[in-house]
């Protein structure tokens, strides 16, 4: 007699059955090799926990392709030896030092709830959650560094002027803060000595990506991390 499974969970179980058929029955050597030789992903992907932005689905990735760290607002905390119970830093360390990934991608997205929480804090609204406000405050410095005093591009994209961005404007243009948080996370990656060492040696690259939920477009940071440029044609 089968145990009762809630319909929501039953759908997930059906998904596992479909995956079992694809990964174990149609291509049994794939999983067998991953077990025998271990995982060898080339990419560490730091992504948001948002249910609408699943990295494997977005990128059509197969098992073994990506080592994924997901958290609220896809944030990378700066290197720090205090506090040993840290899932984000330990995942980054394992990917870089043990798996020897060749690329680190910080993948942000539009309409991010974590960044919305950060903006609420910046506008003085008290957050009633136990942990969320402290976590998203990681992006506060990058918000000021990359958005306050941001280059403002006039309508039509011709030329630019510099203006100070106030809190009201930030809330109206949340994507600027989302992208700033990505750039800040790239800066924080450079505070890890063993990441900086591998970057300087030329065997590790870091990238910032921003996914637009509105239309599916992907934007990426320029080589000097100074701007976001469209990737898809």
For tokens 């073994």, name the residue.
64
Task: Please report the sign of the dihedral spanned by the C-alpha atoms of residue 18, residue 21, residue 24, residue 27.
Answer: negative
Q: What is the pLDDT of residue 217?
A: 96
Do 68 and 181 share a domain, yes or no? Answer: yes
- Concatenating the DSSP letter of every residue in 43-107 gives EEEEEE--TT--HHHHTTPPTTSEEEEEEGGG--PPP--S-S--HHHHHHHIIIIIS--SEEEEE
Do 226 and 151 share a domain, yes or no? Answer: yes
Do 19 and 54 share a domain, yes or no? Answer: no
Work out the burial of residue 31: count CB atoms within 10 Å of its CB; fewer than 13 is exposed, 13-18 middle, 19 or more buried: middle
Instruction: Give CA–CA dist 200/130, Å, rounded.
Output: 39
Do 100 and 169 share a domain, yes or no? Answer: yes
Do 24 and 98 share a domain, yes or no? Answer: no
**Angle at Cα 86 formed by Cα 183 and Cα 137, nearest 5°?**
45
CATH number assigned to the domain comprising residue 102: 3.40.1050.10
As for how many domains the chain has, the answer is: 2
Q: What is the pLDDT of residue 18?
A: 95
- Whether residue 166 is predicted with pLDDT greater than 70 in this model: the reply is no
Do 48 and 22 share a domain, yes or no? Answer: no
User: Mean pLDDT over residues 70-98, rounded?
Assistant: 93
Do 8 and 93 share a domain, yes or no? Answer: no
pTM score: 0.89
Do 142 and 199 share a domain, yes or no? Answer: yes
Q: What is the pLDDT of residue 155?
A: 45
Domain that holds residue 212: 39-230
Do 137 and 32 share a domain, yes or no? Answer: no
Contact present, 136 and 117 (Cβ < 8 Å): yes
Do 5 and 110 share a domain, yes or no? Answer: no
- In whole angstroms, how far apart are CA 137 and each of 14, 85, 91? 39, 19, 20
Do 84 and 23 share a domain, yes or no? Answer: no
| pLDDT digits 0-9 by tens, 23-49 | 999 989 999 999 999 999 999 999 999
Do 164 and 222 share a domain, yes or no? Answer: yes
Percent of the chain surpassing pLDDT 90: 73
């Amino acid at each position: 007699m089968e145990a009762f499974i809630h319909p929501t969970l039953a759908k997930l179980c059906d998904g596992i059955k479909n995956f079992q058929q694809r990964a174990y029955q149609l291509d049994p050597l794939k999983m067998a090799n991953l077990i025998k030789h271990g995982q060898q992903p080339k990419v560490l992907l730091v992504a948001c926990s948002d249910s609408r932005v699943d990295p494997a689905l977005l990128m059509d990735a197969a098992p073994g392709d990506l080592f994924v760290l997901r958290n609220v607002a896809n944030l990378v905390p700066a290197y720090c030896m205090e506090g040993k119970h840290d899932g984000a830093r330990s995942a980054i360390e394992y990917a870089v030092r043990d798996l020897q990934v060749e690329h680190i991608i910080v993948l942000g997205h539009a309409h991010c709830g974590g960044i919305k929480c950060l903006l609420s804090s910046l506008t003085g609204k008290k957050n009633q959650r136990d942990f969320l406000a402290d976590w998203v405050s990681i992006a506060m410095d990058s918000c000021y560094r990359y958005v306050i005093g941001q280059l403002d591009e006039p309508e039509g994209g011709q030329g630019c002027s510099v203006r100070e961005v106030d809190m009201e404007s930030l809330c109206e243009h949340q994507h600027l803060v989302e992208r700033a948080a990505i750039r800040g996370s790239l800066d924080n990656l450079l505070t890890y000595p063993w990441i900086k060492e591998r970057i300087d040696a030329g065997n590790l690259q870091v990238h910032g990506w921003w996914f637009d939920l509105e239309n599916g477009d992907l934007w990426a940071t320029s080589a000097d991390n100074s701007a976001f440029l469209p990737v898809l044609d």
